[in-house]
Amino acid sequence: MAVFLTLAAGGASPAFSEDSDRWEKDWQSCMDKSDGSNAAWGGCGQQWLKREDDKLNATWKKVFEQATGQTKTDLLAEQRLWNTYKEGSCQLYANGDWGAERAVLDYVSCRAGVIDKRITDLESYGELFKGN
């Protein structure tokens, strides 16, 4: 089962940051220890997404505090649009057309990748803002 799960997650996932890679391994460990039910797998996925969201929120707070002037206004507008995108992302895995396993496997890894990419983008903004 572990090989299947790793392949399923890897197929939908972009390259993750080091933290996200660790969290993906934690997800895999949770999945391996589970009873193999979609409900258990879904719980593992929700834990992974919560960790990603927590890191995103911490990164956002840090970067937003560094921004000033029109940049701060633009960054807030961008983040609001991105949040709308995030909430709609990866739904093709969760819509039921591809079965329950896609919803608990590929959806989670896809959404985690979307969040991780935003964290990376925000961190690059933070590096830019350090000069201000």
pLDDT of 15 higher than 70: no
Fold of 2-129: Substrate Binding Domain Of Dnak; Chain:A; Domain 2 (1.20.1270)
9-12 long-range contacts, CB within 8 A, separation 24+: 9/105, 9/106, 9/108, 9/109, 10/109, 11/106, 12/90, 12/93, 12/105, 12/106, 12/109, 12/110, 12/113
Task: Tell me the mean pLDDT in the region 89-105.
Answer: 89
What are the tens digits of pLDDT across the range 103-124? Answer: 888 999 999 999 999 999 999 9
Question: Which pTM was predicted?
Answer: 0.79
> What does the domain layout of the chain look like in residue ranges?
2-129
**Worst-scoring range by mean pLDDT, 25-39, 55-69, 72-86?**
25-39
